[in-house]
Amino acid sequence: MPRWTLVRLNAAHPIASFSCGNRDGAREIDAYLHHSALLEQSQRLAAIWIIEDPLTDNPAERIAGFFTLSPVSVRIAPQLLAANKLDVPYAQVGGWLLGRMGLAERYQGDGLGGALVAEAIRQARQLQEATAGVLIVVDPKNDRLLAWYEALGFGFTRADPTNLKQRRLILKL
């Protein structure tokens, strides 16, 4: 992401003015950043990564977007473990949840969302070096976002292909 600066959320960020719009679930994502993110990060429940736009003239618009990463343990069907070449006798395996993610409205529609996902994958791979962990997991809020993740081309697949009501996606790191 050459134009962008990626930093951990801190108390100096202008979080109150961040808005990723009105689409399904977007307001909850704003509310999370406004009210919960700093506390969750201080409690080590999630790492919140902010994408700053250093070229903006308005300091209140410095946050172009954000995403969260946190550790997760996922129940995986044996056939899916095998399909991902995970030859282990465990019902659950560990990895990272790409949790909330949003782009400020003015940055949407240019593919930057895909760059955020790529960055989350890159970070999870780095963490994997230090701690192990095999998957990155996302829970798309609706079918359109599910299709968006699948179309990004990173190789996300359904965590439970037999249950199409469940939208959870996984990617083997």
- Amino acid symbol at 129: E
HEC profile for 1-26? CCCCEEEECCCCCCHHHCCCCCCCCH
Distance CA(60)–CA(45), nearest Å, equals 26
Q: How far is the CB of 106 from ligand COA (least distance, A)?
A: 10
- Please name which of 84, 85, 173 lies closest in space to residue 122, comparing C-alpha atoms: 173
In the complex, minimum distance from the CB of residue 103 to ligand COA, in angstroms, rounded to a whole number: 4
Place of tokens 């969260």: 68
C-beta of 32 vs 81, nearer to ligand COA? 32
By Cβ distance, which residue is nearest to ligand COA? 113
Identity of the residue numbered 151: A
Provide, rounded to whole angstroms, the least separation between the CB of residue 107 and ligand COA. 7
Can you give the binding site for ligand COA, defined by CB under 6 A?
Answer: 20-21, 23-26, 29, 101-103, 108-114, 140-142, 144-145, 148
Nearer to ligand COA, 97 or 101 (CB): 101
Nearest-approach distance from CB 90 to ligand COA, in angstroms: 27
The residue with tokens 């999870």 is 124
